[in-house]
Amino acid sequence: MIETDAIAIAEQVNALVIKNKDDFVAAGELAVAVARRIKQKNEQWRPMFERANESATQIKNNWNKEIIPLQELDSKISRERITWKTDQDGLARIEQERLEKEAREKAEKERQKLLEKAAEMEKLNPKKAEALLEKAEAVVEKPVFVERVVEKTTKMETGGSITWIKDIEVEVVSIRAVCHAISQGFIPENCVEFKNLKQLSKLNNWKGQIHGLNIKEIQRESKRI
């Protein structure tokens, strides 16, 4: 006799050991009883979930109506600010390079001047010449810095702040090249998500080990209650 009470069913399932056909049939009865309880619970909870889901969807739609236009405005402001800052950063790099070149040339001129003096003093005063050579070797260009147009963090007069964060953007331009890099170990396997392999295998009637997959037939029960 198969009990339909949830606790009794759980006890029978936990004690289940199939040793013969009668046990197998009894296990089938238990499977149907459990499937029936699953159906009952689904029928009990699904309407409440669907009502809550409909309410959540409506809330989400109203939320999107208000938030999406604001996000678009925020994106436009960010695009304009990023474009301007990128241009300024480029100009700052050019100016930095110019000042560094200027500093190098100035240091080189000073070194050459000291070396020429050392050459002139080589015969007249060797010690002084040696001191001039040491002085020439010690000449290095002075560090130069371009003043930032935009600080890393800017505090707003109305409150809050904006901080610029350096980041990268990664775009897959060749799936084959990425897969090759994974096979070579340059990109870890956990960076990849595999989808639709079951449907693809059925469609192509793949079996056994193929294309790095291990495909085997399994059985599962379909219960009518």
The pLDDT, as a whole number, for residue 208 is 94
Q: Which residue range forms the structural domain that includes residue 202?
A: 168-216
Count of domains in the chain? Answer: 2
133, 149, 167 - which closes a domain: 167
The predicted model gives 145-173 an average pLDDT of 91
Crossing angle (nearest 10°) for helices 21-121 and 126-137 = 150
Chain segment 106-138, per-residue pLDDT in tens: 999 999 999 988 898 888 888 888 898 888 899
The predicted model gives 82-109 an average pLDDT of 94
Question: Average pLDDT over the chain, rounded to whole?
Answer: 91
Instruction: With respect to residue 210, please indicate whether it lies within any of the assigned structural domains.
Output: yes
Amino acid making up residue 107: A
Instruction: With respect to residue 162, please indicate whether it lies within any of the assigned structural domains.
Output: yes
The predicted model gives 72-94 an average pLDDT of 94
Instruction: Tell me the whole-structure pTM to 2 decimals.
Output: 0.64
**Residue 77: pLDDT band with limits 50, 70, 90:** very high
The pLDDT, as a whole number, for residue 148 is 86
Q: Is the pLDDT of residue 149 over 90?
A: no
The pLDDT, as a whole number, for residue 2 is 46
Chain segment 187-216, per-residue pLDDT in tens: 999 998 889 999 999 999 999 999 989 999
Instruction: With respect to residue 222, please indicate whether it lies within any of the assigned structural domains.
Output: no
The pLDDT, as a whole number, for residue 172 is 92
Do 140 and 202 belong to one domain? no
Q: Classify the C-alpha dihedral 74-80-82-84 as positive or negative.
A: negative
The pLDDT, as a whole number, for residue 108 is 93
Cα angle for residues 216, 221, 222 (degrees, 5° grid): 125
Q: Is the pLDDT of residue 4 over 80?
A: no
Instruction: With respect to residue 126, please indicate whether it lies within any of the assigned structural domains.
Output: yes
Do 114 and 187 belong to one domain? no
Do 30 and 65 belong to one domain? yes
Using the CB atoms, write b or e for 161-188: b if 16+ within 10 Å: eeeeeeeeeeeeeeeeeeeeeeeeeeee
Name every residue whose Cβ is closer than 8 Å to that of residue 120 and which is 6 or more positions away in sequence. none
Q: What is the DSSP string of 154-194?
A: EE-TTS-EEE---------S-HHHHHHHHHTTSS-GGG---
- Count of beta carbons in the 10 Å neighbourhood of residue 212: 6
Helices (H) and strands (E) in the chain, counts: 5, 4
Q: Give the residue from 103, 202, 190, 97 showing the smallest Cα distance to 143.
A: 103
CA gap 79, 73 in Å, rounded = 10
Do 116 and 126 belong to one domain? yes
